[in-house]
Amino acid sequence: MDLGISGRRALVCAASKGLGYACAEALAAEGVNMVIAARTEGPLQEAAEALRSAYGVEVTAIACDITTPAGREVALAACPDPDILVNNAGGPPPGDFRDWSRDDWIKALDANMLTPIELIKATVDGMIERRFGRIVNITSAAVKQPIEALGLSNGARAGLTGFVAGIARQTVAHNVTINNLLPGPFETDRLRSNIQSAAEKSGRSIAEVAEARRLENPAKRFGDPAEFGQACAWLCSSLSGFVTGQNIVLDGGAYRGTL
């Protein structure tokens, strides 16, 4: 299926690996030129080169912390007028809410709520003028079904979700859509390190913990990041202009609600 976005420009945040990279790759496969951002220069340059050589698209790698004003400034300077914006950043650490200070909360809000809002603010009016825009925020299945130890994530991402629900209805008449993708367990470095720490805490092997986690999912497996990237590419496509303000869960059916 041709998604009708060949030659479009994208800014894909937190995209040297994991879900962000998978989104960048699926867009690159559609002929989208892009700026990708992540903090660590080496893996970021490698990711950019992999995309260029596999798909022949223009990829600029900007090493920056997207959760800071300075980081957003350099990313936006490299891509001031994207047609497609994929918002992503690392997730906050787990813990007990009694231990979290105001600073911990501000950090989580900066990363997972205010950064995407700032990037939307900086790019959405240009999209409206050009009458095409696709914004996808990578959030978490925890928005629908909170994960107890991830209170910082539950709270910050819920804030973003509420904000998006309001503005997505204001932009869609201009062919600018804003949607959230809610990952369940996808096999990325983040999931692997969660499994490793769970194994260390419980005294079980990594393989045992991973297998137990796979089996607790209705699909009996983890998600492949490429599956996530494909969903993102479709939401960024010319075919999806009637879909806005949605929260699409990709979790193998782990969320047990009827709706």
CB hemisphere CA count around 157 (13 angstroms) = 28
- 107 near ligand NAP, rule: CB under 6 A: no
Which of 5, 51, 66, 127 is in the footprint of ligand NAP by CB under 6 A? 66
Amino acid (1-letter code) at residue 71: G
Which of 78, 81, 90, 100 is in the footprint of ligand NAP by CB under 6 A? 90
Angle of CA points 253, 144, 177, to nearest 5° = 95
Residue 173 and residue 232: Cα distance in Å, rounded?
A: 21
Strand order of the sheet with strand 133-138? 59-63, 33-38, 9-12, 84-87, 133-138, 176-183, 247-250
- 116 near ligand NAP, rule: CB under 6 A: no
Using CB under 6 A, which of the segments 48-56, 86-94, 126-134, 210-218 binds ligand NAP? 86-94
- 85 near ligand NAP, rule: CB under 6 A: no
Query: How many angstroms separate the most distant Cα atoms in the chain?
Result: 57
Q: How many residues bind ligand NAP (CB under 6 A)?
A: 28
- 38 near ligand NAP, rule: CB under 6 A: yes
- 123 near ligand NAP, rule: CB under 6 A: no
Which of 20, 82, 133, 151 is in the footprint of ligand NAP by CB under 6 A? 20
3-state helix, strand, coil in the chain (%, to 5): 50, 15, 35
Which of 10, 24, 26, 89 is in the footprint of ligand NAP by CB under 6 A? 89
- In three-state secondary structure terms, 111 is helix
Which of 5, 18, 210, 234 is in the footprint of ligand NAP by CB under 6 A? 18
CB atoms within 10 A of CB 5: 21
Q: Which is nearer to ligand NAP, 39 or 174 (CB)?
A: 39
Q: Which residues bind ligand NAP (CB under 6 A)?
A: 14-20, 37-40, 65-67, 88-91, 138, 140-141, 183, 185-186, 188-191
